[in-house]
Amino acid sequence: MTKRKWWQDAIIYEIYPRSYVDSNNDGIGDLMGIVSKLDYLQTLGINALWLCPVYETPNVDSGYDVADYYKIAKDLGTMKHMELLIEEAHKRDIKIIMELVANHTSNKHYWFINALNKGRYRDFYIWKKGKNNGELPNNWMSSKTGKSVWTKPKTDDEYYLHLYTEAQPDLNWSNRELRTEIYSIMKFWLNKGVDGFRMDVINKIAKAEGLPDVPTNTPFLYGEMYFENYPDVHRYLKEMYEEVLVHYPDCLAMGQTSGVSPEQAYAYTNPSLKELNLFLQFEHVNIDYGKEGKKLEFLPKEFYDSIMKWQTGIDNKLNNTVFLGSHDLPRTVSHYGNVSDYLKESATMLATFQLLLKGTQVIYYGEEIGMTNVNYVDINDYIDTRSRSTYDYRINVCKDKVVDVEQDLRALARDNARYPMQWNNSTFSGFSSVKPWMKNCNNYEQINVECQLEDNYSVLKYYKWLISFKKTNATFNIGKIFPINDKLPEGIYGYRRVYNNINYSIICNFEATTVDFADETHQVSSLYGVEIDSNYIKLGLVSKLNKIKPYEVKIYKK
Ligand code: GLC
Ligand code: CA
């Protein structure tokens, strides 16, 4: 058997640096703050940190608008701090994964400023003249802002392309010089010791030649067919592999690849094709996202079916990356669990459901204590660029009712995932001693690390146990996975992990009702074996052998 790569069995912990810990009390989280929590992270048992962008940036889109790939954002610290973070993390066996935001730069990057002045970097970006009758170059729209992807600077006769905000001009990957620059940036950071990249919207770097119109003017055809998974992307990724990745065999290349099918995901990550190691797909987290940011009902069955489709896809050959939350999503327990009545139960059930699935695991900061959606009272406290543009678009263009738009925003806003980490119950949640750059959530007195460390029945203690349980049972790393298709009561979903005659069954209740699992317990035991654990037992709650309580998860072994 070929040796497994470190990331195959890893649990990656994603950090949004501005909101983790503020070490110098200016209200903004920073790199030294992260350094100060490495011991905490080591005891939690995670293997790697994925840092949302830490590069110099005007912060229009939270650092996903890079102004200088060779500098650390002033708010976050210095290059020395970054080097120290890498060194201190490595001492604790924690790897560091950085963002590679290479589909676009900030409009404040010197390449773009030079391009605006028609200098030598003009062709690093994508320029096109409008159509003869004064129309835009084509009909593509940004699915995120509902606006055209084209902007014409006042001083110009051409428009530039931006799939995201106009402050994020797209780079022209068909330009060999640009590609060489990107590869140099990667080598620079790898030589500093980083262990991998999460490649932001990497499946959008190739655009169709001629930038044609989307054939019909259907409002929801945004042009993805011409810029998402467009065939040239494979040519670029193979080149990146040859020029960079092959020289750093332990480097993790994890691509953000929205809108892929299992076949396309395999085309990116099949090891013999030498492109990426891991892909991030969003089908399961997007099932309750309607058009234009409308919140749809969450249906556990749809969610489960989607997860299982990917877990077993391509004859079980996909290297899945498993995550439920991220900096772009609502908080996991608010999204899929039950915050009002079963916060601990649902947070731990979801954690178990997730972490015992097959693949590389990613957890998002704060999930380990059950942090919830932020629920700001004042709608103006939702400050993320996407929250604001969705809001304006729905009110002004779609003419939706304000109450509906506000309700959906509260449910789905990215702000939900970006507010300060809750370390303790002091003012500003122990994140900083001054008012944070983004308002705290009002539940930090109840939900915080310090109180959960003192409580043996906390979500945090459960995560620690669960992480070590996963790590010490090879079945969860290398075992096969099988969906459980037996006739389970409504709301109950499960799967089996099997390796060397060891057979674990994970049975989860996604609803707030208690159900009879079987009248005759021996039926259950012949199917699943012995019940070895339940989140209820670990949380100090009463669990019954023949019943599954609200949001309970039971683990069986045979
Ligand atoms: C990705 C990031 C998101 C960002 C966008 C543009 O989707 O996850 O946060 O806004 O790319 O870079
Ligand atoms: Ca700071």
Residue 522 is predicted with a pLDDT of: 59
The pLDDT, as a whole number, for residue 212 is 93
* Ligand index nearest the alpha carbon of residue 78: 2
- Find out whether 295 and 280 touch, Cβ atoms under 8 Å: no
What pLDDT score was predicted for residue 1?
55
Identify which of 88, 45, 53 has the alpha carbon closest to the alpha carbon of residue 71. Answer: 53
What DSSP element (H or E) covers 363? Answer: strand 360-364
User: 186: Cβ below 6 Å to ligand 1?
Assistant: no
Indicate the top mutation candidate among 59, 61, 149, 202 to test ligand 1's pocket, ranked by most ligand atoms within 8 A of CB. Answer: 61
Report d(CA 497, CA 181) in Å as an integer: 44
Tell me the C-alpha distance between 458 and 451, whole Å: 9
Task: For residues 318 and 265, give the distance between their C-alpha atoms in angstroms, rounded to a whole number.
Answer: 8
The token duo for 439 is: 């308002």
64 lines ligand 1 (CB under 6 A): yes
Domains along the chain?
6-101+182-377+421-459 (3.20.20.80), 480-557 (2.60.40.1180)
Q: For residue 221, what pLDDT is reported?
A: 62
Print the SS3 string covering 157-212: CCEEECCCCCCCCEECCCCHHHHHHHHHHHHHHHHCCCCEEEECCHHHCCCCCCCC
The residues, any chain, with a CB within 8 Å of residue 98's CB and separated by 6 or more, are 50, 51, 53, 54, 189, 194, 196, 197, 198
Distance from Cα 65 to the centre of ligand 2, integer Å = 20
Cβ 125 under 6 angstroms from ligand 1:
no
Whether ligand 1 lies within 6 angstroms of the CB of 61 is answered as yes
- What tokens were used for 122? 């003009």
Strand order in the sheet with 127-128: 127-128, 159-161, 150-151
Q: Which residues of the chain have pLDDT under 70?
A: 1-2, 144-145, 217-221, 519-522
Burial of 210 from C-beta contacts in 10 A (0-12 / 13-18 / 19+): exposed
DSSP string, 227-289: HSS-THHHHHHHHHHHHTGGG-TT-EEEEE-TT--HHHHHHHH-GGG-S-SEEE--TTTSTTB
Give CA 425 to chain center in angstroms.
27
Mutate which of 100, 164, 418 for ligand 1 pocket (most atoms within 8 A of beta carbon):
164
Instruction: Tell me which residue of 9, 36, 39 sits closest to 20, measured CA to CA.
Output: 36
Which pLDDT value is given to residue 520? 56
**What are all long-range contacts of 180-184, with beta carbons under 8 Å and residues at least 24 apart?**
181/124, 182/100, 182/102, 182/240, 183/240, 183/243, 183/244
- What does the block give as tokens for 435? 């008012």
H or E, element range at 150? strand 150-151
**pLDDT recorded at residue 496:** 97
88 CB-near residues (< 8 Å, 6+ apart): 35, 38
How far apart, in whole angstroms, are the C-alpha atoms of residue 495 and residue 72?
A: 43
Closest CA to 417 of 18, 66, 49: 18
pLDDT at 525: 83
| Among protein residues, the one whose CA lies closest to atom 4 of ligand 1 | 64
Return the ∠ at Cα 444 (arms to 440 and 445), rounded to 5°: 135
Calpha distance 270→3 (Å, rounded): 16
228 in contact with ligand 1, CB cutoff 6 A: no
Q: Where are the alpha helices (DSSP H) in 413-448?
A: none
Q: Is 14 in the pocket of ligand 1 (CB under 6 A)?
A: no
Whole-number pLDDT of residue 142: 80
- In angstroms, the CA 372 to CA 338 distance is 10
Calpha distance 203→180 (Å, rounded): 18
Whole-number pLDDT of residue 81: 98
Q: Which atom of ligand 1 is nearest to the CA of 327?
A: 9
Number of alpha helices (DSSP H) and beta strands (DSSP E) in the chain: 19, 20
